[in-house]
Amino acid sequence: MPESLTRPYSEQSNFRRVAILFAGGPAPAANAVISAAAVSFLRHGAEVIGMKHGYSSLADFDPSKPLEEGQDYIVIDHPTLSRTRSKQGIMIGTARTNPGKMVSSPEHLTDPERSAPLKATYEGLRSIGVEALISIGGDDTLKTANKFKMYQDTLPEDAPRIPVVHLPKTIDNDYRGIDFTFGYFTAVDFLAREVRNLLADAEANKSYFLVESMGRSAGWLAYGVAIAGEASLVISVEDIRGKYRTSEEVTNPKTGEKSTREVMDLDKVIKRIVLTMITREREGKKYGVIVIAEGLAELMPYSFLEGVGRDDHGHINISAISLHTIFSRLIAEEYERQTKSKRKVTPLQLGYEARCAVPHAFDVMLGSQLGVGAFRALVEQKLNGVMVSVSGQLQLHYVPFEELVDPKTLVTVVRYIENNCDFQLLTRFLETYVNEEDLSLV
């Protein structure tokens, strides 16, 4: 056991060159993760390179066109890392290029056409001497890391392997296997300050703001913003259950086949929001801020989604729907119908502003521990195919990919806010209390 001021013993890196790659949307403290991971390897004898803009230059790598330093990757050294842990942005950039998008089952990994981008990624990394890969990103990037590892498992036994570890990133905080993801608390604080500003504006003008918060799959960000921002009500995908959920029949425009999909009962959701407004008025408060999670767009009736495209990961193009505009219009109309008077409801979308905000101390500490965890997983533990996780007082854990990704479909499972969990109940206690039985009278 080393003395308290003695640096913990750590063996020299068994890798000569390690690559760090960041993919997906930005998050505060990204540079803390990259910096801590890089310096850990540099101090133990390894070279570190940063792949620029995710998998952009790897997914379509052509051996006849070598990767270029400065354009496709950078060499990260000690001067590069000077005072970077709290720096905004992402020093190596990011992108959403997905080399595993054509692979949706293990059988696809042996299909030359479907696995071609993964093969290109492997060959591209090998061409510049990479012997280990640190993947930083959201659940889509985790899926890609898993597919990259599985692709290598199909190679001949004598083929060199590139071990991969993944570091979880998303301001949405909807990751299985870790309590909180880096950047979440910074994003919550930044957006909550915006909501408190809007509350002051709303009170001055006796009006409402309808805020659409980021949070594609789960409501962690929207809930956190509502709690810290003192919003009047928050609604996320987890709340669309029971009487607020219904189904509709949809006809595939290409095949003519009919299917049934679960959707929100938009009319009841809008009436529930208006009930909050009316209840506040009874309390003498003719103003407020309502927060909704952008993921509600996936549960909108088909008439609102017709013709909307999807990205490489199959996600609907939320920006094309303008959920906050639709909700604000419907709320204003329903309020006028019920009260025979008007109340201004201004729509706003918040989220992008927080993705590169100056990171808070906790996120810098969390991100730094994840970065160091990448070194410890690869060098000290000699692991491959794991996600680095942190719990309690920044205690490190290593979660195998197979515990996070469905082995048959190769997709991850979203961590939703559990119904009636203490985190959800905290929000319900703090927001405007309403008697939902009043809805039956509307």
Q: Which residues contact 364 (CB under 8 A, 6 or more apart)?
A: 29, 32, 85, 86
Domain that holds residue 48: 17-181+359-403
pLDDT confidence of residue 11? 67
Contact 250, 258 (CB under 8 A): yes
Same domain, yes or no: 213 and 285: yes
Beta strands at 73-76 and 47-51: parallel, antiparallel or unpaired? antiparallel
CA 329 to chain centre: 28
| Residues 130 and 241 reside in one and the same domain | no
Q: What is the pLDDT of residue 250?
A: 78
Q: Residue 120 in contact with residue 101, Cβ under 8 Å?
A: no
pLDDT tens-digit map of 354-365: 999 999 999 999
Average pLDDT over residues 31-56: 97
Three-class secondary structure of residue 288 per DSSP: strand
Q: Mean per-residue pLDDT for 17-43? A: 97
Which range (90-94, 145-149, 305-309, 322-326) has the least confidence? 305-309
Domain with residue 128: its CATH number is: 3.40.50.450
Provide, rounded to the nearest whole percent, the portion of the chain with pLDDT above 70: 95
Residues 6+ apart with CB under 8 A from 153: none
Are residues 109 and 175 located together in one domain of the fold? yes
Residues 110 and 22 reside in one and the same domain: yes
**4 within domain boundaries:** no
Answer whether residue 407 shows pLDDT above 80.
Answer: yes
Whether pLDDT at 403 is above 70 = yes
222 and 208 belong to one structural domain:
yes
Q: Does residue 387 share a domain with residue 320? A: no
Domain-embedded: residue 279: yes
CB atoms within 10 A of CB 105: 12
Specify whether 309 is located in the same domain as 370. no
Please compute the mean of the pLDDT values over residues 128-134 and round it to a whole number.
98
- The answer to whether residues 282 and 422 belong to one domain is yes
CATH of the domain at 333: 3.40.50.460
d(CA 209, CA 202): 7
Q: What is the pLDDT at residue 344?
A: 96
At 430 the pLDDT is 94
With beta carbons less than 8 A apart as the criterion, state whether 387 and 403 touch. no
For residue 80, tell me if it sits in a domain: yes
Both 35 and 174 in one domain: the answer is yes
Average pLDDT, the chain: 93
State pLDDT tens for residues 230-289: 999 999 999 999 999 999 887 777 777 888 889 999 999 999 999 999 999 999 999 999
The model's pLDDT over 190-199, given as tens digits with 9 standing for 90+, comes to 999 999 999 9
Residue pair 342/277 in contact (Cβ under 8 Å)? The answer is: no
Q: What is the pLDDT of residue 202?
A: 97
Segment holding 337, helix H or strand E = helix 323-339
Total domains present in the chain: 2
130 plus 227 within the same structural domain = no
pLDDT recorded at residue 1? 53
For residues 122 and 214, which has the higher predicted lDDT (pLDDT)?
122
Residue 44: pLDDT over 80: yes
Q: How confident is the model at residue 341 (pLDDT cuts 50, 70, 90)?
A: very high
Q: Please indicate, yes or no, if residue 408 is contained in any of the structural domains.
A: no
Q: Do 202 and 177 have their domain in common?
A: no
* Residues β-bridged to residue 251: 258
Q: pLDDT, tens digit, for every residue of 202-228? A: 999 999 999 999 887 899 999 999 999
This prediction has a pTM of 0.90
With cut-offs at 50, 70 and 90, classify the pLDDT of residue 8.
Answer: low
- For residue 389, the cross-strand partners are 397
What is the b/e burial string over 397-410, where b = at least 16 CB atoms within 10 angstroms of the residue's CB?
A: ebbebeebbeeeeb
Q: Is residue 30 part of a domain?
A: yes
Which pLDDT value is given to residue 313? Answer: 54
Q: Phi first, then psi: what are they for 85, rounded to 5°?
A: -60, -35
Of 352, 350, 370, 351, the C-alpha closest to 30 is 370
Q: What would the pLDDT profile of 161-202 be if each residue is shown by its tens digit?
A: 999 999 999 999 999 999 999 999 999 999 999 999 999 999
Helices (H), 109-235: 116-127, 139-153, 184-205, 220-229
In a domain, 411, yes or no: no
Let me know whether 197 and 100 are in one domain: no
For residues 76 and 90, give the distance between their C-alpha atoms in angstroms, rounded to a whole number.
13
Q: What is the pLDDT of residue 3?
A: 63
What does DSSP say about strands 47-51 and 17-22: parallel, antiparallel, or unpaired?
A: parallel
Q: What Rg value do the Cα atoms of the chain yield, rounded?
A: 24
Q: Is residue 366 part of a domain?
A: yes
Any domain includes 84: yes
